[in-house]
Amino acid sequence: MKILFLCNKSPYPPKEGGPMAINANIEGLIAAGHHVKVLALNTNKYFIKPDEIPQDYIDRTQIEFIYQNLSINPFDAFLNLFSKKSFHVERFISEAFAEKIVEILERDKYDIVQLEMLYMTPYINVIRKHSKAKIILRSHNVEHLIWQRVTANTENALKRSYLAGLTRKLKNYELNAINQYDGIATISKKDAEFYLKNNSSKPIEDISFGVDMKKYKVSTGDYEFPSLFHLGSMNWMPNEEGIKWFVETAWNLISQKYTDLKFYLAGRMMPEWLENLKRDNIEVLGEVENAQEFINSKAVMIVPLFSGSGIRIKIIEGMALGKAIISTDIGAEGIAYTHGLNILIANTPEEFLKAIDKFVSSKEFCEKVGANARKLIEDDHDIDKITHKLLAFYKRVLEN
């Protein structure tokens, strides 16, 4: 089977959730013997240097890039107030990207064109004109739900009103596009249910994030116990929003009881307020060279998300490495967890403190929950099982 991936960001290097999810499907399909071609936008928001991609990866994926500046132009943002178009989506429209799609489709025939996220939807007409391939939306999130939650949690009334307008347009676009695809592969069951409830007439399947468990080695060496950590890109608004809440509310309660307990913050694009943060026992590390080594060196992962959709890739990664995790209900959405068995759920400062009490007071309990978490990933998120499910969905769509 020949599959063309159209991506809103590069799948390589797979250092944050979106690229990790895209790359997992790419690697799984190639390992299963299928032909994959990748075309990605290379943006200022997530810029990679093409000449630093390993030649082996280039050979296997035929990856190509088109640069797109996603910087927000205040004038364009203002004009969008008077337009029905989604500002979120419009930023990803590139004439050069469309021309490259035409070039690729006229050069080769594909069975499937997979759109990675909603933001590749504007290119459907180009694909239809130049190819008979079936078009699959790989839905990483229900995008407007993220922004609804972000808007609801925004304190500034003027900003909240502006975001509400952008979100309405994004929702309209997302709902109107549902039946433009030949199939939708969501990353969680909850997202699949959303599309079904909104009158999709096309095949829909929830196909989660898969990991190659051979690449996730649980450390048998010493790690810092007790310790807390968070790993996530801070240019994704829900991450920054959640950490801001945790630092400003929950941490005050936690640090009063555990005066020596350290909280480590790692990830790309740390905002200025975090870089300048002066709080006892909070260490802001920024981007770490090796995510797995960092995760293995600490004890308890904290994921305080209050907006978002889809599934949190970093929780999957932490579970695969056998880590104890405390997350909110929203943070753990899309994972078939059992509270108290393979994760602890907390939604208030008091609940986070109670969960931390349980882990800090017993290293044995901490490691038991981590071991159960890894077992969950082995059962539900093994890359071979996920790839098999994705291929079965492709065949279903091709036969439809």
Per-residue pLDDT tens over the stretch 139-181: 998 889 888 888 887 888 988 998 899 999 999 999 999 999 9
- How much of the chain is helix, strand and coil, in % rounded to 5? 50, 15, 35
**What DSSP state is assigned to residue 214?**
G
**Residue 349's CB: how many other CB atoms inside 10 A?**
18
Give me the helices (H) in 131-212, please: 143-152, 157-177, 189-197
97 in the same domain as 79: yes
Domain, as residue range, for 163: 2-210+383-399
Specify the pLDDT at position 377: 96
90 in the same domain as 40: yes
- Name the average pLDDT for the chain: 93
CB 212 within 8 A of CB 383: yes
271 in the same domain as 192: no
Q: How far apart are CA 301 and CA 352, in angstroms?
A: 12
293 in the same domain as 202: no
| 106 conformational bin, left if phi > 0, alpha if psi -120 to 50, beta if neither | alpha
246 in the same domain as 189: no
Q: Which of 341, 395, 339 is nearest to 372 (CA)?
A: 341
Per-residue pLDDT tens over the stretch 255-311: 999 999 999 999 988 999 999 998 899 999 999 999 999 999 999 999 999 876 778
Specify the pLDDT at position 346: 98
Q: How far apart are CA 142 and CA 379, in angstroms?
A: 25
Write down the pTM of the prediction.
Answer: 0.86
Specify the pLDDT at position 336: 93
Question: At a CB cut-off of 8 Å and minimum separation 6, what does 130 contact?
Answer: 101, 102, 105, 106
Count of domains for the chain:
2
More confident residue, 4 or 235: 4
**What DSSP state is assigned to residue 137?**
E
Per-residue pLDDT tens over the stretch 176-195: 999 999 999 999 988 999 99
189 in the same domain as 63: yes
CATH of the domain at 358: 3.40.50.2000
Q: How far apart are CA 227 and CA 359, in angstroms?
A: 10
| 312 conformational bin, left if phi > 0, alpha if psi -120 to 50, beta if neither | beta
CB 239 within 8 A of CB 312: no
Average pLDDT on 34-47 reads 95
**What DSSP state is assigned to residue 326?**
E
Specify the pLDDT at position 373: 98
Please determine, for residue 199, whether its predicted confidence score (pLDDT) is greater than 80: no
**What DSSP state is assigned to residue 248?**
I
Specify the pLDDT at position 308: 67
Specify the pLDDT at position 75: 65
327 in the same domain as 277: yes
State the number of CA atoms in the 13 A half-sphere of 257 facing the CB.
Answer: 13
Here the tokens at position 123 are 């290119």
316 in the same domain as 258: yes
230 in the same domain as 297: yes
179 in the same domain as 233: no
Per-residue pLDDT tens over the stretch 337-372: 999 999 999 999 999 999 999 999 999 999 999 999
CA distances from 135 to 17, 131, 172 (A): 23, 10, 20
Q: How far apart are CA 196 and CA 191, in angstroms?
A: 9
**What DSSP state is assigned to residue 246?**
I
Specify the pLDDT at position 162: 87
CA-based end-to-end distance of the chain: 16
142 in the same domain as 10: yes
- 5-19, 65-79, 166-180: segment of lowest average pLDDT: 65-79
269 in the same domain as 180: no
Q: How far apart are CA 147 and CA 164, in angstroms?
A: 8
Here the tokens at position 391 are 């291929």
